[in-house]
């Protein structure tokens, strides 16, 4: 039997991982003129499939995470222009809405906690308006009477991550075809990537030239973007000494249909603190609501009964009519958590203090994958163009890699 030589695919930018971050990066790179190839056996079925899609830098602000705020704000600001070309191309289901967010507290301690947080939000120049409970209920009549406080955050918006992912996947093929890449497989390869290919196969800190697929084929690319979430550390051929400390933080999330007589359940996204536990309700255009989300590190990938109970219980404190909804879907997925809750985004230092050419890491987006997609795509586009924005150096992917720190000097801007 004659040995068949495995086919080689040649592209400009190979993106390993087709979650919303990988897709967003590919989409932005394609818009910059590159030929892109997304490598994922089942795109948009991980955390992207679960995510509620809140673009909420203000209400997502956590104490001691102020460093992340600049990134989340910058990304939220980029979302309208990120999503506009998709909408212009006829994708109406991106779900991008500039609905405000209403933050509610259930008991006196929740009120105190939210009021304390508001002080910090205001100190950062963020807009958090205190409403009377009467005002909040006039705006959202189905909000229950037994709440202790209400705040309005005008700049926290939303998208539908499933819709955005689908729109990007379609658009990647449409644009590729327009540019003469007629085979869909050149744009989306439904296989696992197993290894990074290097210019010097014996040196994992030499230029990255492509990716080896599980079926033996090679994708040759000018640049490889590693955006496969929790699976990133399992990729062979990552630079020696690079530590990508990711851990699965599971979340349970529910999707419910609002019966006709209760529509709309709410017009704003409702986020609440109920006896110290966070919960949110995101209303969608199609008369469904997304109710989330737990944070579990119990190692269990399935939907947690206790988690579902907690979400339904707490949501009913804020909006009692939640009990009347049809429970359509329960989903659990893992978020890729990092030790400091911030992403691992950028290039990796190689020998002589120069970044390794051909390699960009984009993972560890944890709770903020959807929100940060727009800025991750933008930063990656800049990196692909040879520009390193020093403002985002604090998110470099090598910051947990002591072996790489001593050799790292500021990168030169190479056009």
- Structure tokens belonging to residue 172: 């990647």
Contact assessment for residue 108 and residue 116, using Cβ atoms and an 8 Å cutoff: no
Binding of another protein at residue 362 (CB under 8 A)?
Answer: no
Binding of another protein at residue 66 (CB under 8 A)?
Answer: no
Size of residue set near another protein by CB under 8 A:
27
Question: Of the candidates 8, 132, 234, 285, which one interacts with another protein according to CB under 8 A?
Answer: 234
To another protein, the closest distance from the beta carbon of 74 in angstroms equals 21
Contact assessment for residue 86 and residue 24, using Cβ atoms and an 8 Å cutoff: no
Give the pairing type, strands 101-105 and 8-16: unpaired
What pairs with residue 211 in β-bridges? 196, 219
Contact assessment for residue 277 and residue 355, using Cβ atoms and an 8 Å cutoff: no
Of the listed pieces 142-150, 166-174, 254-262, 337-345, which binds another protein according to CB under 8 A?
337-345
Footprint of another protein on 338-357 (CB under 8 A): 338-341
**Surface-to-core class of residue 261, CB atoms within 10 Å of its CB (0-12 exposed, 13-18 middle, 19+ buried):** exposed
Q: For 189-207, what is the HEC assignment?
A: ECCCEEEEEECCCCCCCCC
Give the closest residue to 372 by CA, choosing from 73, 80, 148: 73
Contact assessment for residue 374 and residue 24, using Cβ atoms and an 8 Å cutoff: yes
What would the x/- binding string for another protein be over residues 317 to 336, using CB under 8 A? --------------------
Binding of another protein at residue 243 (CB under 8 A)?
Answer: yes
User: Rounded to whole angstroms, how far apart are CA atoms 174 and 178?
Assistant: 6
Of the listed pieces 17-25, 56-64, 389-397, 406-414, which binds another protein according to CB under 8 A?
56-64
Produce one character per residue of 383-400: b if its CB has 16 or more CB atoms within 10 Å, e if not. Answer: bbeeebeeebeebbbbbb
To another protein, the closest distance from the beta carbon of 159 in angstroms equals 25
Binding of another protein at residue 276 (CB under 8 A)?
Answer: yes
Binding of another protein at residue 247 (CB under 8 A)?
Answer: yes
Footprint of another protein on 136-195 (CB under 8 A): none
Of the listed pieces 9-17, 37-45, 134-142, 297-305, which binds another protein according to CB under 8 A?
297-305
Footprint of another protein on 78-137 (CB under 8 A): 116, 120
To another protein, the closest distance from the beta carbon of 77 in angstroms equals 24
Residues of the shown chain interacting with another protein in the complex, contacts defined by CB under 8 A: 62-65, 116, 120, 230, 233-234, 243-248, 276, 296-300, 337-341, 400
């Amino acid at each position: 039997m004659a040995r068949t030589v495995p086919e080689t695919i040649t592209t400009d930018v190979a993106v390993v991982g087709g979650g919303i971050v990988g897709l967003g990066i590919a989409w932005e790179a394609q818009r910059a003129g590159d030929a892109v190839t997304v490598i994922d056996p089942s795109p948009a079925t991980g955390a992207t499939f679960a995510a509620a899609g809140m673009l909420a830098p203000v209400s997502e602000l956590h104490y001691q995470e102020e460093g992340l705020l600049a990134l989340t704000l910058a990304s939220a600001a980029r979302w309208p222009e990120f999503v506009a070309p998709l909408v212009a191309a006829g994708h109406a289901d991106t779900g991008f809405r500039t609905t405000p967010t209403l933050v509610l507290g259930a008991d006196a301690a929740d009120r105190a906690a939210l009021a304390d947080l508001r002080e910090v939000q205001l100190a950062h120049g963020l807009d958090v308006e205190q409403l009377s409970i009467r005002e909040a209920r006039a705006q959202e009549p189905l909000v229950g009477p037994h709440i202790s406080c209400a705040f309005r955050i005008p700049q926290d918006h939303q998208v539908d991550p499933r819709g955005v992912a689908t729109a990007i996947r379609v658009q990647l093929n449409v644009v590729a075809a327009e540019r003469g890449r007629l085979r869909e497989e050149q744009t989306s390869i439904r296989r696992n990537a197993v290894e990074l290919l290097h210019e010097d196969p014996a040196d994992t800190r030499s230029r990255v030239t492509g990716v080896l697929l599980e079926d033996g084929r090679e994708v040759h690319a000018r640049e490889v973007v590693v955006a496969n979430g929790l699976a990133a550390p399992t990729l062979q051929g990552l630079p020696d000494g690079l530590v990508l400390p990711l851990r699965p933080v599971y979340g349970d999330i529910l999707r419910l249909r609002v019966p006709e007589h209760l529509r709309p359940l709410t017009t704003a996204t409702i986020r609440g603190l109920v006896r110290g536990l966070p919960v949110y309700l995101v209303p969608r255009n199609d008369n469904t609501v997304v109710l989330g989300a737990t944070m579990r590190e119990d190692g269990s990938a399935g939907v947690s009964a206790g988690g579902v109970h907690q979400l339904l219980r707490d949501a009913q404190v804020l909006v009692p009519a939640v009990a009347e909804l049809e429970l359509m879907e329960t989903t659990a997925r893992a978020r890729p958590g990092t030790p400091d809750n911030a992403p691992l985004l950028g290039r990796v230092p190689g020998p002589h203090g120069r970044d390794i050419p051909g390699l960009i890491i984009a993972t560890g987006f944890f709770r903020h994958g959807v929100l940060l997609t727009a800025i991750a795509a933008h930063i990656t586009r800049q990196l692909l163009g040879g520009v390193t924005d020093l403002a985002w150096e604090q998110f470099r992917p090598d910051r947990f890699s002591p072996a790489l720190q001593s050799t790292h000097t500021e990168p030169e801007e190479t056009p």
